[in-house]
Structure 1
Amino acid sequence: MSEEMEQWVAEMLRINDLDAKMTDKQIKIIKAAVETFSEKGYAASSTSEIAQKAGVAEGTIFRHYKTKKDLLLSIVAPMMTKLIAPFVLKDFNKVLHSAYPKYEDFLRAVIKNRMEFARNNLPIIKIMLHELPFQSELQAQFKEHIAKKVFNRLQEVVEHFQSDGQIIAIPSHVAVRVSVSVLIGFCFARFFLLPELDWDEEQEIEYSIDFIMHGLAPRE
């Protein structure tokens, strides 16, 4: 495993509080699975190959995970939970009202925070993006944890700023879709489509936010 991949997996385990709960063999299995799934995809990966990379017997994998799919879910599911964590905090509304007087401030804080999370978890996010269209269990978790919870929270945010007159009076779900599409599109290009470019992240974030705000600003 490369040093960069090693750092990513260590960060993933730390963020998800897994490093203290797993045996050394489990951590080796997770590291080998992340590397293999990220490089080859889930379908083309075998538990024998993962076991070989981890330096354990293949039977050891099945003592901890009943199937290869269980191993996949054990990697991706905690990441989904941490991905949405800032959006489901009980004091979210308090933070919104006190810290972000403008919608653009809220967008800027969210995109910077989640970009840092993505940067530290790229291999796992890559696995999720690869497997989401093909794994019904991941689709169900994505809809439950991300699509529903995050979307509902963002609708609350939009409606708050609409009531302040900062956002045009269109259906809140449309404003959310516009905002999310632009920001996710930027992140996808930055980390997966064109990572080799010399990105000025700060400027690109401002361009994206300006684009969103020009579209959502109330008409004079």
Structure 2
Amino acid sequence: MSNQDFMMDTFFEDEEGLTEKQKKIILAAIESFSEKGYAATSTSEIAKKAGVAEGTIFRHYKTKKDLLLSMITPMMGKFIAPFVIKDINKVLDHRFEHYEDFLRAMIENRIEFLKKNLPLFKIIIQEIPFHPELKAQFKEHIGNKVFERVSEMFKHYQDKGQIIELPSKSIIRLAASTIFGFLISRYIIFPEADWDDEAEMERTIQFIMHGLTPKDEFIPGSETE
């Protein structure tokens, strides 16, 4: 199944009120916004790609911004959020013995998610900084639901003495920024680079591990002569 077929099956599930033209408009907008960005995409381009008249877009959506929000709302509400929560739970519900194993499973999990949903993910990453409404939706659908579960997981490894005592918010920020920095670079900013995915994943894990290892824990290569 192609990425577009996957998006159609999932995005339009239970959306019986949408006409075939609306579906074509939304798919064309997803493709265009992910490739060029929201600001650089015109409604005339979307109409041409969808095979409809530009006026057809404005009969359904008052502005281009309304079209973007009409895509993001169901995307967050019933596509991105359920899949993100479900996929993360696959990792969080398995109590890995070591924090390093948890990190590896989490990164592998996110890579699989990105490969299947890259166009939609790109739109979220590109547009969230410029639209307060999208920030609020992301926080509501994903941030709050995931934070509690991840905080619980970090507390588990702190109790085992595998990571240092820091506030959960700080640990999540440090670990998430490192992991998503790798994923965004790999799949969005520099996808054409000659990546050694396994090596980069291990480097990411080791960077996080060394930064969160208790001071009295031995780190290979840290000894001085």
**TM-score normalized by the length of structure 1:** 0.81
For structure 1, the residue ranges without an aligned partner over 5 or more in a row are: 1-5
- Once the two structures are overlaid, the 10-residue window that deviates more, 155-164 or 38-47, is 38-47
Q: What secondary structure does 1:132 align onto?
A: helix
Amino acid of the structure 2 residue aligned with 1:11: F
Alpha-carbon distance in structure 2 between the residues aligned to 1:79 and 1:208? 29
Unaligned 5+ segments in structure 2 are: 217-225
Which secondary structure state, in structure 1, belongs to the residue aligned with residue 177 of structure 2?
A: helix
CA distance in 2, matches of 1:87, 1:196: 26
Structure 2 partner of 1:7? 2
Q: Which residue, 205, 214, 221 being the options, matches 1:218?
A: 214
**8 A contact 1:83–1:117 mirrored in 2:** no
Aligned residue for 1:118?
A: 114
Q: Which amino acid aligns with 1:156?
A: E
1:57-109 deviations in whole A, cap 9, x for unaligned? 334334443432232123333444544436645x94x9646442222222222
How do 1:134-153 and structure 2 match up within 5 A? 134-153=130-149
CA contact (8 A) 1:12 1:120 kept: no
Q: Number of aligned residue pairs: give it.
A: 213
Among all aligned residue pairs of Structure 1 and Structure 2, give the percentage whose two residues are the same amino acid: 54
In structure 2, C-alpha distance between the alignment counterparts of 1:161 and 1:16, rounded to whole Å: 37
Secondary structure of the structure 1 residue equivalent to 2:161: coil
Q: Quote the Cα distance in structure 2 between the aligned partners of 1:58 and 1:104.
A: 52
Q: How does 1:92-131 map to 2 (within 5 A)?
A: 92=89, 96=92, 98-131=94-127
Higher Cα Rg, which structure: 2
TM norm structure 2: 0.80
Question: Separation in 1 of the partners of 2:206 and 2:200?
Answer: 10
Provide the C-alpha distance between the structure 2 equivalents of 1:219 and 1:84, rounded to a whole number of angstroms: 37
Question: What is the CA-CA distance between 1:38 and the residue it aligns to?
Answer: 2.5
8 Å Cα contact 1:84/1:150 also seen in 2: no
Contact persistence 2:34–2:123 (CA under 8 A): yes
